Structure 1
């Protein structure tokens, strides 16, 4: 038996746009089901919102997204989580950073750090904070 974890992002009307954007950065396949597809529309303005969606790539990237309907409480909050993307290739992480950085606010530039060959943090246009780094051996 194996267990995996996947980041599941909650939005309110932006899930499809976020999934499209993350696919443009990381590649992979999008799957998305709307409230209309499910036959569970409670607010006609939200019929095309995503009730379940994901981007999954052959490279192991996987993120899920959902639009919280307006009748439920939703608060994006401040720093409720970070999405961490770690790789072992500086060119690959650098290329992902360049794509994610478009329209984002850089919290910490992608550069060498004391603990990693490259480390950076940014908040994208959907309010999601991403940490990208290149893995280094732990010498604790």
Structure 2
């Protein structure tokens, strides 16, 4: 089963503009889910910000991005990216999660999420933050 690792960029309010820019450079399709779309608005200023977004091109280029919620600290250049590990099969993704979890700090346990059958976030023993999920077809907005 295919599994893909993609750079996941973090912004504060600029994710949509960045994704649009990267699409203009590399081509492909942009898909965006806002905090409002996902029913996850905890601060009104986040409602139209990107909770999950990606550009995917036929060439194989892919990048993901989101806007860090207002309630979380964020400074440009610090924690500028995650590694997103996506797969089609829950058992395969779970196996990777279990191995990555060894010595890691689990930031969000692997489990169902509004946008994916399985989603989790951890900081591995080397300080790299991984977002791990079972891929679903994105809905462009």
Contact 2:54-2:62 within 8 A present in 1 as well:
yes
Q: CA RMSD in A?
A: 1.9
User: How many residues are paired up?
Assistant: 81
RCO higher in 1 or 2 (8 Å CA, sep ≥ 6)?
2
Unaligned runs of 5+ in 2: 82-141
1:45 aligns with 2:41: no
Q: Give the distance between the partners of 2:5 and 2:41, measured in 1 at CA.
A: 29
Structure 1 residues 78, 34: CA separation in 2 closer, same or farther (over 3 Å shift)? closer
Q: Give 4+ residue runs of structure 1 displaced > 4 Å after superposition.
A: 78-81
Name the TM-score, length of structure 2 as normaliser: 0.53
Contact 2:10-2:79 within 8 A present in 1 as well:
no
Partner deviation per Cα, 1:12-38 (whole Å, 9 max, x = no partner): 000000000100110000110001101
Instruction: Say which SS state the counterpart of residue 55 (structure 1) adopts.
Output: strand
Q: Give the distance between the partners of 1:78 and 1:65, measured in 2 at CA.
A: 15
Instruction: Say which SS state the counterpart of residue 33 (structure 1) adopts.
Output: strand
Unaligned runs of 5+ in 1: 82-140
1:16 aligns with 2:16: yes
Q: Which residue of 1 aligns with 2:55?
A: 55
1:29 aligns with 2:29: yes
Deviation at residue 70 of structure 1 after TM alignment: 1.1
Q: Which residue of 1 aligns with 2:3?
A: 3
Q: Give the distance between the partners of 1:41 and 1:80, measured in 2 at CA.
A: 22
Q: Which residue of 2 aligns with 1:64?
A: 64
Q: Give the distance between the partners of 2:22 and 2:9, measured in 1 at CA.
A: 12
Q: Give the distance between the partners of 1:80 and 1:19, measured in 2 at CA.
A: 15
Name the TM-score, length of structure 1 as normaliser: 0.53
Contact 2:15-2:66 within 8 A present in 1 as well:
yes
